[in-house]
Amino acid sequence: MPKQGFDQHQLKTFYTNSLSLQAILAAALVVGGGAILFKNKAIASTIAQVIVPTVPNSTPSSTPVVVPTSTPTPATVPTSSPTPTPLFPSTPRPSPTVTPSPVVVPTATPSPTPTPLFPSTPRPSPTPTVTPSPTPTPIFTPTPSSSPTPTVAPSPTTTPNPTSGSVIYVDPVNGADNGNGSNQAPYKTISSALNQAQSGSVVQLAPGIYSATTGEVFPLNIKSGVTLSGDESTKGQTRVIVGSGNYVSPTFARQNVTIRADSGGTVAGVTIANPSSRGTGLWIESTNPTIKNNTFTINNRDGIFLTGNANPTIENNVFTQNSGNGISIAKTASGQIRNNLFLDTGFGLAIGGTSTPAISNNQLYQNRAGLFISDSARPTLRGNFIENSKQDGVVITASAQPDLGTAENPGNNFIRNNTRYDVYNSTRSNTITATGNDIEPEKISGNVTFVAATVNRPAIRQGTFRDIQGYWAQPYIEALIAKDVIAGFPDGSFKPTDPVTRAQFATILSKALAPPSIREGQEFKDVKQNFWAYQAIQTAYKGGFVAGYPGGLFQPQQAIPRVQSLVSLANGLKLSANNPNALATYADAAQIPNYATDPVSAATVRQLVVNYPIPTQLNPNRDATRAEVAAFVYQALVNTGRAQAIASPYVVRP
């Protein structure tokens, strides 16, 4: 039996100086409750320089090539990622020097007050941090604790009797829990609606944010046969459920959970966020619900956690910017996980225990690792696209034995362009069969029987990118692409969650707004005339949008925080606020630096601010992402009459 608990020294050894310990804990420990049973010598592996013939149309060749480990060579981690293609089509640029940190919910203590783009003293780049729980053991203890059972939402004053198949309406703004759940008298809370729902009922949500502030009692429990429905066409972008409550799991003790789903239940068309410590968005334990067309984001640990003998269908969802994993799979869980997007979400999937999920036709981009497979897990992988991982595409540890394809049933997985290895088999003795996949042979490590095939990426229409399909900022990004303001990368990605440097931001401003000169230019010591963004920085400076730091520096490779990008736009556009209470919109207004209060207030009033997924959460000191800058700049174009407004629930309207 796998050993219960974990050895932190072994975990640190596995990805030394590569992945954060918190991510490893989330991926390797949350699943299955087992330990990683290997030492340094077991990690050492060889990348065999084998030239494998490409076989078109996903037809495997008859003679497999085994990538051996007979001459061990310690695996090394590159110190830097390959230089991507320019952010902007015509101007080359170096790789950003800042690695994005996971999205975190600001603590009560604000980040150090940064100096604006244009004031008198420099500031250190703000670094969002994730503070792991000081005592993680209780999460993984398989024996249920004696914690009290979750609070159940009280019944509403008026108790209707919905019939099977009825629709129960909920509106967090206009509803009341003493209503009857009709379209004319909706409930205010999901909690009250679920309390009345019977098998066959559909709980239909109106647009809005559903949280403890609006009266929700967490965790919400989707009972057998009940459907929680939002807007599937936008993957729940207009219906955001954010919160956390205690749940005592029979297999993992006390947990912080937003929603639980029973057998036969359905969750469709909502956004689920649990920013609380060790928070999980959706907990599925020994049940078989259907989870489709949702978005899971800013969950502090997992978007979804499967345990027991769970056997759900999870399809067409978006998992982005969760701190631990998109999905964790433990114990004897199985299920169908297909057609989902995992984007910059810790580990895409962490699979452990003796679980046997079917993982098919998913897209996994820019995660720490696409899949982390541990314990004695036996997942089946078919037709997945795993690219641009910050570390490895697929990691296999302990006694795991994934099925990556056979002669009779080829894998058809596309696993390429990952930073270190595409497939990393670190098991002691298992040979992994990977027949009929598109993988770079030189980036396979460990005992892998590999037969190559050509796997074609799905066609993407011109003017968009595969990693923004269904993403909240897709319309903003595509609009600026059409205006030739921003561009993507040659591999067909946009990397919407990557940070933006000051040089890149100045280039976007110059191309989008073409500001006229209002002052003379300034030569900065760290921006030579042959620097790729020299002219753009001069244009943005002359137009009053940016400035430098004392000592004649511009710091072009420094990542720009959200607050500085908004201050730059507000000041450059000469915006002023006529609403002294505009900043009261933000729950984290206290974190706005003093120098920025007036410009941010003006930007808010003029609707330049776009906050995803919670409009009232500004996160001023977090580095701005490519997607967020695209949204801010597009809103600036709308404000100046150069673009049509895009309908979005994330535009802040005070």
Domain-located, residue 219: no
Question: Which residue has better confidence, 359 or 18?
Answer: 359
Question: CA of 460: how far to CAs of 233, 239, 413, 467, 492, in Å?
Answer: 19, 28, 18, 10, 9
Domain-located, residue 456: no
- Characterise 94 by phi-psi region: left (phi > 0), alpha (psi -120 to 50), beta (else): beta
Task: Indicate the pairing of strand 414-416 with strand 202-205.
Answer: unpaired
Judged by DSSP in three states, 54 sits in coil
pLDDT at position 462 is 84
Domain-located, residue 29: no
Asked if the model's pLDDT at residue 26 lies above 60, the reply is no
How many domains are contained in the chain?
Answer: 1
Rg (CA), the chain: 25
Average pLDDT of the chain, as a whole number:
80
Lowest mean pLDDT among 279-283, 488-492, 623-627: 488-492
Asked if the model's pLDDT at residue 89 lies above 50, the reply is no
Lowest mean pLDDT among 263-277, 377-391, 535-549, 574-588: 574-588
The 385-387 sheet, strands edge to edge: 65-67, 448-452, 432-439, 414-416, 385-387, 363-365, 341-343, 318-320, 295-297, 271-273, 239-242, 208-210
Domain-located, residue 170: no
Domain-located, residue 215: no
Is 279 in contact with 255 (CB distance < 8 Å)? no
Each residue of 339-348: pLDDT tens digit? Answer: 999 999 999 9
Total-model pTM = 0.77
Domain-located, residue 530: yes
- Assigned token pair, 389: 């991982």
Asked if the model's pLDDT at residue 122 lies above 80, the reply is no
Domain of 470 in residue numbering reads as 466-639
Is 366 in contact with 393 (CB distance < 8 Å)? no
Query: How many H helices and E strands in the chain?
Result: 11, 32
Is 268 in contact with 230 (CB distance < 8 Å)? yes
154 pLDDT band, cuts 50/70/90, is very low
Asked if the model's pLDDT at residue 529 lies above 60, the reply is yes
Domain-located, residue 584: yes
Nearest CA among 261, 328, 262, 367 for reference residue 270: 261
Domain-located, residue 578: yes
